[in-house]
């Protein structure tokens, strides 16, 4: 038997925390953190960044000067170097909760605006990666433990509008979910085939310019205005391939960005709609199409509206800007039955611990969890591991193209191979994965 000496723990201690400015998929600077242990084990993680951001998200610190059009992150880097690194040195990388709590306390603000949530989130994730590497465990296994085995259904964003593409579509994302596949690899294959087929159909109907893509790699067809046109052509692509039994549809309305606070109305296709009228639009879409998931149907303060639509429509209602991966907001939603699913974005809240707490709270109350990208990603692939770690059952990660997206899908293909027979694809039980 190996006798573990007290000082064996020394190798888990943080020797150094280094940070640098790198670029995300939009060319915007973001933060990459290296956490290095006494044993010289490295944990490296990047902070993602949103564009269609919610009001209640943790604060992303940017320089606001001439460099990179104000988007530099040197202030955040300085905070890591001068404040976070000295406080983390000597701490055990396996103590994620303690380390995240230290950073939260050092920051001291409600929304992490002193140190910057981008500085904190990259450090938090780099700590987790360093711990996984020091223990020679894959990240999903380290975070999720022995039961992490569920491969998520990818919510494949096929057409984009709103803030994430230069189109006339007001709603932000039109997606397909390959729930009928037997495995994650089959889901990616048939999803990608649909993406190709949709490209052909769009080019024919909307000109070759329809093949230009938005921030999440999805098509951005010029002249398409009506959400029904988006769903119709996606369905056509699915049907032409004979996959109608394999897919359901999903959307992100990102309605906070359609809402005129002064008038209390939503802009949609050149009209001004009340909440009730917008609800009718959703009802109609759900009746017409196999649409099974609607994200942010109303603006981020309308908990009541979310509760009403959750009661009225028998589909997944997802809170993104509504919850901002924030426990307090999620609790408020759970109390009144607002939404029935949480979009989990680690950088919305700022630490891995808080994100994991939000995921457990959601699952405990029968809410589904969709682990999600940001429209600004890097090639870092911790997101894929996180989806398996929490057995979420769903992952929103954009289209099956562009390296910042395929970095996640490819990592999931590797995890599926590594898990072998233990891997389970969430498939039709995506809302409450059956283990």
Interface of this chain with ligand PGA, residues 374 to 413, rule: CB under 6 A:
374-375
Distance between CA atoms of residues 408 and 418, nearest Å: 15
Distance between CA atoms of residues 261 and 255, nearest Å: 12
Interface of this chain with Zn ion, residues 172 to 191, rule: CB under 5 A:
none
**Residue of minimal Cβ distance to ligand PGA:** 50
CB 413 within 8 A of CB 57: no
> Angle at the Cα of 174 (from 280 to 382), degrees rounded to 5?
130
CB 401 within 8 A of CB 126: no
Helix (H, G, I), strand (E, B) or coil at 210: helix
> What's the min distance (Å) between Cβ of 182 and ligand PGA?
28
Interface of this chain with Zn ion, residues 306 to 335, rule: CB under 5 A:
320
Q: Is 5 a catalytic residue?
A: no
Q: 144: which 2 tokens?
A: 């999720």
> Quick one: which segment of 48-56, 136-144, 223-231, 403-411 binds ligand PGA (CB under 6 A)?
48-56
Nearer to ligand PGA (CB atom), residue 53 or residue 424: 53
Distance between CA atoms of residues 122 and 117, nearest Å: 8
Q: Is 60 a catalytic residue?
A: no
Using CB under 6 A as the binding rule, whether residue 46 contacts ligand PGA is answered as no
Distance between CA atoms of residues 22 and 275, nearest Å: 41
Using CB under 6 A as the binding rule, whether residue 257 contacts ligand PGA is answered as no
Q: Which helix (H) or strand (E) holds 205?
A: helix 184-206
> What's the min distance (Å) between Cβ of 296 and Zn ion?
5
Nearest alpha carbon to residue 169 among 228, 99, 82: 228
Using CB under 5 A as the binding rule, whether residue 57 contacts Zn ion is answered as no
Q: Which does 96 bind (CB under 5 to 8 A by kind): Zn ion, ligand PGA, none?
A: none
Using CB under 5 A as the binding rule, whether residue 215 contacts Zn ion is answered as no
> Counting beta carbons within 10 angstroms of the beta carbon of residue 245, is it exposed (0 to 12), middle (13 to 18) or buried (19 or more)?
exposed
The contact pattern for ligand PGA, residues 284-323, with x = CB under 6 A and - = no contact, is ------------------------------------x---
Instruction: Please pick, from the candidates 252, 308, 380, 416, the single residue that binds Zn ion as defined by CB under 5 A.
Output: 252
Name the strands in the sheet holding 271-273, side by side, starting at the edge strand that comes first in the sequence.
Answer: 259-260, 265-268, 271-273
From the list 345, 354, 396, 424, the catalytic residue is 345
Nearer to ligand PGA (CB atom), residue 347 or residue 353: 347
> Quick one: which segment of 44-52, 79-87, 379-387, 424-432 binds ligand PGA (CB under 6 A)?
44-52
Using CB under 6 A as the binding rule, whether residue 123 contacts ligand PGA is answered as no
> What's the min distance (Å) between Cβ of 346 and Zn ion?
15
From the list 216, 308, 354, 404, the catalytic residue is 216
Distance between CA atoms of residues 302 and 307, nearest Å: 9
Residue with tokens 């973001």: 30
- DSSP per position, 229-268: HHHHHHHHHHHHTT-TTT-EEEEE--GGGGEETTTTEEEE
Using CB under 6 A as the binding rule, whether residue 51 contacts ligand PGA is answered as yes
Nearer to ligand PGA (CB atom), residue 252 or residue 385: 252
> What's the min distance (Å) between Cβ of 336 and ligand PGA?
23
Length of the chain: 435
Q: Which residues bind ligand PGA (CB under 6 A)?
A: 50-53, 172, 252, 254, 320, 374-375
Residues lying near Zn ion in the complex (CB under 5 A) are found at 252, 254, 320
């Amino acid at each position: 038997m190996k006798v573990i000496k007290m000082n064996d723990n020394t190798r888990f201690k943080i020797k150094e925390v280094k940070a640098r400015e790198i670029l995300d998929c939009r060319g915007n600077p973001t933060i990459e953190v290296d956490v290095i242990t006494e044993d010289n084990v490295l944990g490296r993680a990047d902070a993602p960044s949103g564009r269609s951001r919610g009001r209640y998200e943790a604060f992303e610190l940017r320089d606001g000067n001439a460099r990179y059009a104000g988007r530099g992150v040197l202030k955040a880097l300085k905070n890591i170097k001068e404040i976070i690194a000295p406080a983390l040195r000597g701490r055990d990388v396996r103590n994620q909760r303690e380390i995240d709590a230290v950073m939260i306390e050092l920051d001291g603000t409600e929304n992490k605006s002193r140190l910057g949530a981008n500085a904190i989130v990259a450090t938090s994730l780099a700590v987790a990666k360093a711990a996984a590497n020091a223990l020679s465990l894959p990240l999903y296994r380290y975070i999720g433990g022995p039961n992490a085995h569920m491969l998520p259904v990818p919510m494949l964003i096929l057409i984009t509008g709103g803030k994430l593409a230069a189109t006339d579509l007001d709603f932000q994302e039109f997606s397909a979910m390959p729930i009928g596949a037997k495995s994650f690899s089959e889901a990616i294959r048939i999803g990608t085939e649909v993406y190709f087929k949709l490209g052909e159909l769009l080019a024919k109907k909307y000109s070759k310019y329809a093949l230009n893509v938005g921030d999440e790699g999805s098509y951005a067809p010029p002249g398409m205005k009506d959400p029904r046109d988006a769903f119709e052509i996606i369905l056509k692509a699915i049907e032409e391939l004979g996959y109608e039994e394999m897919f359901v549809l999903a959307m992100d309305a990102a309605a906070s960005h359609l809402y005129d606070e002064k008038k209390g109305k939503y802009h949609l296709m050149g009209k001004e709609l009340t909440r009730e009228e917008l609800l009718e639009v959703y009802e109609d879409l759900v009746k017409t199409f196999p649409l099974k998931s609607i994200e942010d149907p109303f603006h981020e303060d309308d908990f009541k509206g979310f509760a009403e639509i959750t009661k009225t429509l028998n589909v997944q209602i997802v809170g993104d800007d509504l919850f901002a991966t924030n426990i307090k907001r999620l609790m408020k939603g759970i109390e009144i039955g607002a939404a029935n699913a949480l979009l989990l974005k680690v950088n919305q809240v700022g630490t891995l611990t808080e994100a994991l707490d939000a995921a457990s709270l959601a699952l405990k109350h029968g809410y589904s969890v969709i682990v999600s990208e940001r429209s600004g990603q890097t090639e870092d692939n911790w997101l894929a591991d996180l989806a398996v770690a929490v057995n979420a059952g769903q992952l929103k990660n954009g289209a099956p193209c562009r390296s910042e997206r395929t970095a996640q899908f490819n990592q999931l293909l590797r995890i599926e191979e590594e898990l072998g027979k233990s891997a389970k694809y969430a498939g039709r039980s995506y809302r409450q994965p059956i283990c």
